[in-house]
Structure 1
Amino acid sequence: MASIEITSEERAELGKALTDALNPLAAAIRSRESELSEARMWEADPVDVTLSVLAAWKAVDTEIKRLTAIAAATAGSYGASYEQMGAVWGITRQGARKKWPDAVPRPSTAPARTGTALQLFGGTAELAQDPSSRGWTWSGKGADETRGAAEDDTWYATKEEAAAHAGAFLREHAADPS
């Protein structure tokens, strides 16, 4: 998705909506700073009035930056990359990483968490959980010395499901009873 441009009509509607939303905040700031009631706040010095409007826009700008960071983090949590976020924002991937440094989760360098070692039918299998929570996997060696593991990129939703697949492998490669 590339950077989004809005039409002049949309820009006008947005400007009106933002100004309408800003007015109560600007009025409260004007009234507080001028110590005049809201009914008389326009009687304040014009510089003070315009500065109160500027102060209100600063508050809105700060809130927009906070909400934008939340939106970026949400996009990152769903798998959006810095390259995609940068394209939408009209900046580079590096610019997006600098703007929202924690938006995209970094891949874990920690080894997979070891679960349970299974010893069945004369063989062993090790269950492991992916640190990024893709699920569980297994690898093992049957009693007949055959090595096996979950297929590439196969992750099971639960430890028990991975154990069932590992157990089936171990049963298939059990020691010959004769």
Structure 2
Amino acid sequence: MTVPEITPEEQSALDTALLDALTPLATAIRSRATGLPEHRMWEGDPAEVALSVLAAWKHVDAEVRRLTATAAGTAGSYGASYEQMGAVWGITRQGARKKWPDAVVRTPATAPAALELFGGTAELAQDPSSRRWTWTGRGADGERGTAGADTGYATREEAAAYAGAFLQEHAAATP
């Protein structure tokens, strides 16, 4: 997936939103640094005022980097590769791996995993080509179930949750 460029209107709206978010932070930083009330933030040496704004941007930059890493981790948890992340970010696969080293977690075990709940059992397996997880199970009542031909889950845990819900629904009846 490549990301299209944003339109001039979108760029303008983004600039406005960022400046609107930045102003209270820059004002607070300037007020603390000078002891001036916030409504007088723009008074004083222009270089000092500009440095207060720069200090606020530093905090915004750090937060954007943190949120970007979270977004990359989320994409990786759903199966996105470093190559895909790099393509969206405009960098190489290696650059994406360096930028977000923990975003893609290689699941070492692709062998089926057994799940035993509510008197039934389910097997979880990862499709090697799609890297999606599926499940098949047999409830305590003898009912068989599966994730379905078109269903796959991004993580083993997600597949286990659906398999567990099936096993709970088909638990042995208590006398």
TM-based fold match above 0.5: yes
Q: Which residue identity lines up with residue 99 of structure 1 in the other structure?
A: K
CA 1:55–1:78 in 2, change beyond 3 Å: closer, same or farther?
Answer: same
C-alpha separation in 1, matches of 2:134 and 2:11: 45
Partner of 2:6: 6
CA 1:21–1:7 in 2, change beyond 3 Å: closer, same or farther?
Answer: same
Gaps of 5+ in 1: 117-126, 138-154, 162-178
C-alpha separation in 1, matches of 2:4 and 2:110: 38
User: Rg: which structure is higher?
Assistant: 1
Gaps of 5+ in 2: 117-121, 137-158, 168-175
Partner of 2:61: 61
Give the deviation of 1:59 after TM superposition: 0.5
C-alpha separation in 1, matches of 2:41 and 2:115: 68
Classify the secondary structure of the residue corresponding to 1:4: coil
Asked if 1 retains the 8 angstrom alpha-carbon contact of 2:113 and 2:124, the reply is yes
Give the deviation of 1:51 after TM superposition: 0.1
Partner of 2:47: 47
Q: Aligned residue pairs: how many?
A: 134
Q: Percent identity?
A: 61
**TM-score, normalising length from structure 2?**
0.64
Asked if 1 retains the 8 angstrom alpha-carbon contact of 2:123 and 2:135, the reply is yes
Alignment of 1:1-178 (within 5 A): 1-108=1-108, 134=133, 157=163
RMSD between superposed Cα atoms in Å: 3.0
Q: Which residue identity lines up with residue 44 of structure 2 in the other structure?
A: A
Asked if 2 retains the 8 angstrom alpha-carbon contact of 1:34 and 1:48, the reply is no
Cα deviation code 1:3-46 (max 9, x no counterpart): 33111111111111100110000000111111111122222221
CA 1:104–1:6 in 2, change beyond 3 Å: closer, same or farther?
Answer: same
Give the deviation of 1:107 after TM superposition: 2.6
Asked if 1 retains the 8 angstrom alpha-carbon contact of 2:112 and 2:125, the reply is yes
Partner of 2:170: none
CA 1:135–1:12 in 2, change beyond 3 Å: closer, same or farther?
Answer: closer
Q: Which residue identity lines up with residue 101 of structure 2 in the other structure?
A: P
